[in-house]
Structure 1
Amino acid sequence: MISYHQALQALLAHAQRLAHEPCSLGESLGRVLAQDVASPMALPSFDHAAMDGYALCAHEPLLAGSEHDVSGSQAAGDAARASSGRAWEIMTGARLPDGLDAVVAVERTQLLATAEDGTPKRIRLLDPLAVGANVRYAGSDVAMGATVVHAGTRIEPAQVMLLAALGVTRVSVVRQPRVAIICTGKELQADPTRPLAAECIHNSNGPYLLAALSAAGTRVVSCDTVDDTAHTYARAVARARDAGVDLIISTGAVSMGRYDFVPDTLGELGAELLFHKVAIRPGKPLLAASLRDGPLVMALPGTPMAVAAGFRFFITPLLRALAGQGGELTRYALLDTPQQPKPGLRHFLRARLQQAPDGRLHASLLRQQQPFRIQPFAQADAWVVLPEDAGDGAAGTLVEIASLQPDQPFTMAAHCGADHQDMSP
């Protein structure tokens, strides 16, 4: 049995970055950039007014009380005009007329004269005015040629806004990983529309992995449910290989029981074993292997929280590596529930978060942490990670936390009846 970090290092050493492909900006949300994006233009592309008011030439500072004739009006979208050095009425976002270099807000002026149609003809300044006042200069947001989004960035709505403002219509993104899911167990009933047989259970691992992988930006090629025989599992692996997947995730049949056939079957298929059994809870029997023709295999124990922990703390880092992304930021919270974890194991525990008045995050462990229990996972806000050498943890201990799903912000939604207690493993 190896440590979590040793296992993760062995797994990531076999992660080969996926190829890139072109993608329209409109379809890029959630995709990972494969190449840096350099700005094709300056942003803003011209000097313009930051507010409604009057544009003036303030090369020599203008004094409060000074009066100025207004030559015309400039709205957003109007072409460039010559100012002849005189003031112009101007609207937010409008290009400054040539020769003018400052804008005074309309409310900081006194209107002295208007034309018959009501347009301003002469104003008085209520405050001094200097060059650059209320002007947004060309390139002040983005300089032409500057790198605006780096490779490895997951494209979110903010990046879409920036790239659209720069006129970028296509980007190079990492190809989505192709994943196959294989759930083992003759007790699993894959079709939820059928009456549940007395000896069966609904398959929850498959739908969970399908949802989690889809949310992580992967392409799930298949999701098979097979019985407890080696040959049906081998056939499912063969179908996944023929489909050209990058990763096979299986659940169940990976421990040491008479029906735990996955390790031997993968060996018979010529897979290179990367590790089997990791010092973690839940999910200790977890196995990773590499098939000769390329696909990696992550074989997870069948209990629901072993699947959830295996996905979050092994498959998520693997998917990031395939996309050319670095590791996630480590975040921390203060533990409100005293713990006495078993030494030598890394514990992944479900917790609720609360923000104290001083702004610090607190984590309270949910009452039932047994790996077969699903409801506490649905009530949780985050994972609490206790390392192998954590020792006894009193209330107030700073602990590592992770979001329930990758690239997901922490939430602290209220749950009626959420229950907490000291849950020492």
Structure 2
Amino acid sequence: MLSYEDALAVVLREARALPVERRAPEDAQGLVLAEPVDSGVDLPPFDNSAMDGFALRAAGAVLAAGREFEVRGSQVAGDDAATAGEGAWEIMTGARMPEGLDSVVPIERVEILERDGEGRPRLIRLAADVAPGDNVRLRAEDIARGALAVPAGRRIGANERMVLASLGATTVAVRRRVRVAIINTGRELVDDPARPLASGEIRNSNGPYLAARVEAAGAEVVLRETVTDEPAVFLGVLERALAAGADVVLSTGAVSMGRHDFVPDALRGIGADILFHKVQIRPGRPLLFARLAGGALYFGLPGNPASGAVGFRFFAEAALRAMSGMTPEQPLRMPLAAPWSKRAALRFHLKGLVELADGRLSARVLKGQESFKVLPLLLANAWIVVPVDAMALDAGDMVDVYGPGHLEAPMIGERLE
């Protein structure tokens, strides 16, 4: 039985980054940059006004309130470069600064003393001091030409799309989405929610859960099937999963030590390399990890819901992250809200609630940690991790806290009394 750290190291060793492809930014949403994006332009590309108002020349000195200026021109967004002489220029937000002017006074801070026949300002008086550079966005103040704009390993979302659009990027180098197949084993499982359960049958909750978690983790489900406890049927579905292009196969059930736990032997029979089976964790100790003959990764998750959830969250998601080109995940650290103890020297992964009280965050272990219970997963907003050697913790002791998924931070929940 491997330690968590050793087992994770095996997973990360096998989880090789996927090939790189070039895509338009709009087709790369949710994918991870394989190469950094350097700026080919200055942002902003020219000095421009941050306010609607009047452009002035301060020339290194404060322009005192009460000074009057004739309005000699105007500049609106989209106008070409212009050269200004003396006086003020009416200007709008985003408009290019006329050459020779270096400051902008907002329109609310001037008095318009005279207007021309068309109602345009002709003479203004400052109602407040204007310092050199006030309300001017300088060329390259945001991003300079040649500077790093978006680093490799960054997942493309709305903010990245905004930067890429601002740079005029037409394509980016990304790693394709990881393809995942889900196989739920067990003749007791029923997928059809409308079908009445026969004696001994249960609803298949692992399938929908894992499908949702795979998508939330940034991967793609290419196959999802439920099979009985017959190795030949299982291997047929596995063959279809690989034909669908699965990079990762997840199965639930049939990996413990019972007479009907057939998955390990079935995998050995097709030449899979079982890299570990059992990890020093709770829940989820029977976790199996293998590399299939064609190179796909295989995670045999236990059938109990919380056990499968832990195996996916802390092992399969680590693989998905590495295959996508992201750096390893780092936990948050926060104090435990209440004392907690355990009896087994295992690394525990606990359904938890991150709370905010009196301006401080804390993590509370929820009731109902049994691996068969599904309701605590609904109530939890985080995973709390207790290491092997910590048998008893006091309120205030620091613990590692992870979000529900590797792309999700813990949401702050209501305090439980």
Do these two structures clear the TM 0.5 threshold for a shared fold by scoring above it? yes
1:379 corresponding residue in structure 2: 379
Q: Write the mapping of 1:104-183 to structure 2, written as runs, cut at 5 A.
A: 104-183=105-184
Q: Deviations over 1:50-87 (max 9, x none)?
A: 11211112225254133221112212222222212331
Residue 7 of structure 1 corresponds to 7
Q: How does 1:9-48 map to 2 (within 5 A)?
A: 9-48=9-48
Query: How is 1:18-417 mapped onto 2 (pairs within 5 angstroms)?
Result: 18-64=18-64, 65-357=66-358, 359-414=359-414
- Aligned residue pairs: how many? 416
Q: 2-side partners of 1:376 and 1:3: how far apart?
A: 26
CA contact (8 A) 1:343 1:389 kept: no
SS at match of 2:377: helix
Percent of aligned pairs sharing the same letter = 46
Contact 1:353 1:364 in 2 (8 A): yes
Asked if structure 1 preserves the Cα contact closer than 8 Å seen for 2:355 and 2:414, the reply is no
Any idea what SS the aligned residue of 1:320 has?
helix
Provide closer, same or farther for how the CA distance between residues 225 and 119 of structure 1 changes in structure 2, counting only shifts above 3 A.
same
Distance 2:27 2:10 in 1: 34
User: Deviation at 1:9?
Assistant: 0.3
Deviates more, 1:196-205 or 1:22-31: 22-31
8 Å contact kept, 1:283–1:309 = yes
SS at match of 1:13: helix
Whole-Å Cα distance in 2 between the matches of residues 123 and 216 of structure 1? Answer: 58
Offset at residue 137 of structure 1 (A) = 0.6
Cα distance in 1 for partners of 2:327, 2:266 equals 33
Residues 140-165 of structure 1, C-alpha deviations (whole Å, 9 max, x = no match): 00111211111111112111122122
* Partner Cα separation in structure 2 for residue 354 and residue 244 of structure 1: 42
* Contiguous gaps of at least 5 residues in structure 1: 421-425
Would the alpha carbon gap of residues 98 and 53 (structure 1) be closer, same or farther in structure 2, given more than 3 Å must change?
same
Whether the aligned pair in 1 keeps the contact of 2:356 and 2:413 (CA below 8 Å) is: no
Residue matched to 1:423:
none
Q: Give a deviation string over 1:256-291, Cα, whole Å, max 9, x none.
A: 000011111111111111111101000001010111
In 1, the alpha carbon distance for the partners of 2:12 and 2:26 equals 31
Q: Could you say what the CA RMSD is over the residues aligned between the two structures, in angstroms?
A: 1.7
| 1:394-419, Cα deviation, whole Å (9 max, x unpaired) | 1221111111122112213449xx7x
| Residue pair 1:333, 1:360 contacting (<8 A) in 2 also | no
Q: Whole-Å Cα distance in 2 between the matches of residues 191 and 35 of structure 1?
A: 44
Preserved CA contact (<8 Å) 2:62 2:132: no
- Residues 289 and 74 from structure 1, CA distance in 2 versus in 1: closer, same or farther, beyond 3 angstroms? same
Larger mean Cα displacement after TM superposition, 32-41 or 308-317: 32-41
- In 1, the alpha carbon distance for the partners of 2:372 and 2:62 equals 75
Partner amino acid, structure 2, of 1:363: A
Q: Give yes or no for contact 1:61–1:128 (8 Å, CA) kept in 2.
A: no
User: 2 CA distance for matches of 1:170 and 1:339?
Assistant: 51
1:343, 1:186 → 2: CA distance? 32
Determine if contact 1:80/1:97 at 8 Å carries over to the other structure.
Answer: yes
TM-superposed deviation, 1:244: 2.9
CA distance in 2, matches of 1:127, 1:61: 14
| Offset, 1:239 | 2.0
Post-superposition offset of 1:111:
2.4
Q: Is the 8 A contact 2:179 2:222 kept in 1?
A: yes
**Contact kept in structure 1, 2:336 and 2:399, CA below 8 Å:** yes
- Residues in 2 aligned to 1:112 and 1:242: alpha-carbon distance in whole angstroms: 78
Instruction: Indicate if the aligned counterparts of 2:402 and 2:409 stay in contact, CA closer than 8 A.
Output: no
Q: Does the 8 A contact of 1:59 with 1:130 survive in 2?
A: no
CA contact (8 A) 1:332 1:398 kept: yes
After TM superposition, give the deviation of residue 197 of structure 1 in Å.
2.2
Aligned counterparts of 1:303 and 1:211: Cα–Cα separation in 2: 17
* SS in structure 2 of the partner of residue 9 of structure 1: helix
C-alpha distance in structure 1 between counterparts of 2:73 and 2:242, whole Å: 71
Conserved 8 A contact 1:181-1:249? yes
**Alpha-carbon distance in structure 2 between the residues aligned to 1:288 and 1:134:** 59
For residue 369 of structure 1, give the secondary structure of its aligned residue in structure 2.
Answer: coil
Structure 2 gaps of 5+ residues are none
Moved over 6 A (4+): none
